[in-house]
A and B are shown apart, each in its own frame.
Chain A
Amino acid sequence: MNLQALEGSETIVFLDNLVLGAGATGMNLGDILVTLVTFLLLMALLKKFAWGPLMGIMQQREELVASEIEEAEKNRKESANLLAQNEKLVKETQANMAEILDSAKKQANAQREEIIAAANAEAARLKESAQRDIAAEREKAIEAIREEVVSLSVLAASKVLSKEISEADNSALIKETIAKAGELK
């Protein structure tokens, strides 16, 4: 290089320091080897001690999340099924209840009618038997009075006989007694 052609040698020195590999004599084969070995060794060590385990745990987490989502989906479907089943059950129960209530009402109505009818019949029977009793008692009383009248008549006759009364008085007495007895009848 023709240095004298350029003015100011300091500038040249400065520029010279800024070129590639300032201060070094060309490419250093040793540096290339060291760089390669260092980088590849670092990569291998990191893979074994850091990235490998870390990737493992990240993979594990991914799987966990996936399985949790699946589980949740399954649970959701199951609960929807259960809900549908429950609704069906409730509807069925309501229908059954209405049916039972209806039949119970019908039965109660029928029973009421039956009881009223039975009570009416009983009342009629009781009334009839009471009337019959009354009639019988009346007959009995009349019979008793008749017997009494006869005995009274006998008594009156015996009194008359014992008193020695006249024919006229006698007949009058008998007539009177008979009349009395007839009234009583």
Chain B
Amino acid sequence: MNHTAPEFTWQITDSFGLTFNLSTVMMLIISAAIVFLIAFVATRKLALKPTGMQNFMEWIMDFVKGIIQSNMDWKTGGRFHILGITLIMFIAVSNLLGLPFAIAIDGDLWWKSPTADPTVTMTLAAMILVLTHYYGIKMRGTSHYTGTFFSPMKFMFPLKLIEEFANTLTLGLRLYGNIYAGEVLLGLIATLGASSVLGFVGAIIPGMAWQGFSIFIGFIQAFIFTMLTMVYMAHKVSADH
């Protein structure tokens, strides 16, 4: 269980370097490739009367559309449709990647969910929050945007400021915590299963149960992340707030 990360540091100057977790980089690219392939293959034979995979893709689109519409009107929220679909699919696939197995070479953990890395989830969360502020200013104007920090009362300003950071932190860490904890427990069960014959017998039932539950959690977390994205977005861009 004491895996290390395969790290690589690109030293640009003597004092400044970019550190890459090669495992995270690889898994991110694999996730993106899988999502792209699913979406690409599903939308090759588009027809007015949808069949097979097109139905599935349209269901996802309608599902995300439902999420957006439950937070803001479609005229405002339509522009976030593509962001929402990409988010939900990318996070769902990322969450599921670490479930079937984990690969560790020389103590370095290579195969895992990219979302089991807090850097990835916090980056996504920060990106979402930056986007909400960007669209808040773009669509409602700077004065209205600034005003939201002082409403309903002026003394709320510190709380509002904390809220923004808390939102970012909880959005990223909720996803990371769920997936990382799932993988840690899966790893523990796998270790138990590999220890002895008796251990294998004892581990197979909880192993299957936890994997099933992790699949459920993977989808739920993807849904929650997308939902919260739209909630935060609606707070900033909707006129009725």
Q: A24-B21, A32-B119 are in contact. Are A46 and B35 (CB under 8 A)?
A: yes
- B46 to A42, Cβ gap below 8 A? no
Q: Could you list which residues of chain B lie within 8 angstroms of chain A, going by C-beta atoms?
A: 1-5, 7-10, 18-21, 24-25, 28-29, 31-32, 35-36, 39-40, 42-43, 46-48, 54, 57-58, 61, 81-83, 85-86, 90, 114, 117-120, 123-124, 127, 184
A49-57, A83-91, A141-149, A154-162 - the one binding chain B:
A49-57
Q: A29-B18, A34-B25 are in contact. Are A54 and B32 (CB under 8 A)?
A: no
Partner of B47, one of A32, A42, A51, A57: A57
**Contact mask A22-46 → B, CB, 8 Å, 1/0?**
0111011111111110110111011
**Contact mask A87-130 → B, CB, 8 Å, 1/0?**
00000000000000000000000000000000000000000000
Q: Is the interface of A mostly helix, strand, loop or mixed?
A: helix
- A53 to B46, Cβ gap below 8 A? yes
Q: What are 25 A-B contacts defined by CB distance under 8 Å?
A: A17-B2, A21-B117, A21-B118, A24-B21, A28-B20, A31-B20, A31-B117, A32-B123, A34-B25, A43-B82, A43-B86, A46-B35, A49-B40, A51-B61, A51-B85, A53-B43, A54-B43, A54-B46, A54-B58, A54-B61, A56-B46, A57-B47, A58-B58, A60-B48, A61-B48
Q: Is the interface of B mostly helix, strand, loop or mixed?
A: helix
- B18 to A17, Cβ gap below 8 A? no
- A57 to B48, Cβ gap below 8 A? yes
- A29 to B124, Cβ gap below 8 A? no
